[in-house]
Amino acid sequence: MVRIIGALLVVVSAYFYGFHQGQNKEELKNARAQISALERTIEEFKVKQTSDAVALSELRLAESASRDELDRMRSQLADIERMSKTNTDRERNRCLRLAVRYKEVVDRADRAIKFCAENHK
């Protein structure tokens, strides 16, 4: 009887041990599937991160090129403004020179007319 009870206990414990091992194997299988899914997700995020890093780098290069172009345009505008001021100054100086020459010519003409008027009556 003790042997039968002992054998029954061995069979029942073997059953529970096997059941527990089956559960462990199933849990292990599920854990491995989850690990594989997580590893795929990690790889996808690494690829996306690399893609984002490349896109960010290209964006920075484009921004830098735009900044350089803007600086070049500002420099050109400053040069144009300086040239405008210089051209304006040159035009003003030219007008002043012409006014002086005009006054000289008018004064000469006045003297010539006075001379003619006084000497050729």
Determine the pLDDT at residue 46. Answer: 94
pLDDT for the residue numbered 91: 76
pLDDT score recorded for residue 90: 67
Each residue's pLDDT tens digit, 35-45: 999 999 999 99
The label of the residue with tokens 């210089």 reads: 86
At 78, list the tokens.
């400053």
Distance CA 44, CA 36 (A): 12
Q: For the whole prediction, is pTM greater than 0.75?
A: no
- Rounded mean pLDDT, 38-65: 89
pLDDT of 44 = 95
More confident residue, 48 or 102: 48
What is the model's pLDDT at position 54? 87
Q: Which two tokens stand for residue 121?
A: 């009556």
Report the alpha-carbon distance of residue 27 to residue 106 in Å, rounded: 114
